Amino acid sequence: MGKQGKLSEEEMRFAKARFFRYYSRAEIDPPPRVALREWGFFLFGGDRMHRPVTFDGRESMKDYLFRKVPRHAYYSTAYYRNPGMPMESPEKGWMGADLIFDLDADGLPGADKLSYEEQLEAVKKEIIRLYDVFLQEHLGFSDDEMSLVFSGGRGYHIHIRSPSVLDMNSDERRQIMDYVAGNFQEFSEVFPKKRVPGRGTVKEVPLLPTEEGGWRGMVREEAALLISTFQMLGREGSVELMKDVGVRRDVGARIYERLLEGERYRSMMKTGDLSIFKSDAELNAFFKVLEAEIREKYAVHPDVHVTPDIRRLIRLPGSLHGGTGFLVREISRDELDDFTPTRDAIPSIYEDEALIGVEAENPVKISISGQEYRLKGRQKVPEAVAVFLILSGRASLSGKL
């Protein structure tokens, strides 16, 4: 949170002057119940967060931003009777907290191999799944209860302020996080069980889920789609598909035969009976293929530390991100589909007619405000580009051109 990149004194003055220009003009709305929240700030030139800070309303918050010109601005997701008291004080009086989800490129598998813009696009796909599928469709939160925010860096936040979440403890919030992330001990947990008599014993056998919502509904839907894919690909293509997710060719061939020969899949889809698979190896391989397909389609990787934290600080929408110079921008769900941070989160205060000299030691490729830049060595760039490159550590300020 608020990790500071190394800036020279000149670079710090340069960036702070642009932030001052922004905060002297910006009209930023505080979050609801502002006086019950704790605030924290990283200032230019400092590595320590200034907290707890409190405000009695919009004007006192605006005055602080104008006077202090923070590099990073945060407020608590929690509400307190006395937010200015130290965290360990019993008089602080926790009163509840918003439910927060934080999706960032740090949590994406293989993100280190993606460019900054590719990371942003990958995270956007996940935040759409989280919002549309899990929070809205599965859990029933409405647009009015959810606030969607671009973090200004490499991800998005969702703030849920429904009364139904206010009093949730950390364990309850963690359960919701585990649900949306599909954090099962075993994927087979998704499948309902039935008890059947064995030789002198009773055992539990899994069933394909029948019509119902949630993960079980998605499993059933994906099973139907997988069978359609097998029909389209044929035996060899289906075996190759299963081989790509780690299923041996001989096991994959048997799965194909169990499902497609005599159209036995019809009975399985109707009754949920998985006994067409004659061994645990076949059944577990079928689970493995289904899981791989579902994970690819519904992957969501929330920050595991944020959602369960009932005392978390989160970035202030309308503030500037100290690692990019971009806006921490609240957006509607309708805006999200076409939202491009490197175009739509650029503050209007940058004076791009005045070109700034920068020096990039390593090659940099970035698109800002719809214009692509390829940099190496010394070059003059618009102010918005210079702020991003300097704050993100991709280039240094240079007056020698």
Using CB atoms within 10 A of its CB, is residue 5 exposed (0-12), middle (13-18) or buried (19+)?
A: middle
At 71, which helix (H) or strand (E)? strand 70-76
Catalytic residue at 303?
yes
As given in the structure block, the two tokens for residue 81 are: 């009777």
Cα separation of 252 and 238, whole Å?
8
Catalytic residue among 98, 104, 132, 309: 104
Question: Could you give the count of Cα atoms lying within 13 Å of 66 in the half-sphere of its Cβ?
Answer: 11
CB within 8 Å of 236: residues ≥ 6 apart: none
- Cβ distance 76 to 83 under 8 Å? yes
Catalytic residue among 102, 244, 334, 337: 102
The CA-based dihedral angle spanning residues 233, 236, 238, 241, taken in that order and rounded to the nearest 10 degrees: -110
Closest CA to 19 of 371, 389, 393, 319: 319
Catalytic residue among 303, 334, 337, 338: 303
The backbone torsions φ and ψ at residue 101, rounded to the nearest 5 degrees and listed phi first, read -120, 135
Interior/surface letters 338-371, b for 16+ CB within 10 angstroms, e for the rest: ebebbeebbbebbebeeebbbbbeeebebebeee
Cα separation of 283 and 281, whole Å?
6
Cα separation of 284 and 188, whole Å?
8
The backbone torsions φ and ψ at residue 12, rounded to the nearest 5 degrees and listed phi first, read -65, -45
Catalytic residue at 102?
yes
Residue linked to tokens 């919002």: 131
As given in the structure block, the two tokens for residue 214 are: 């949630």
Give catalytic residue positions.
Answer: 102, 104, 303
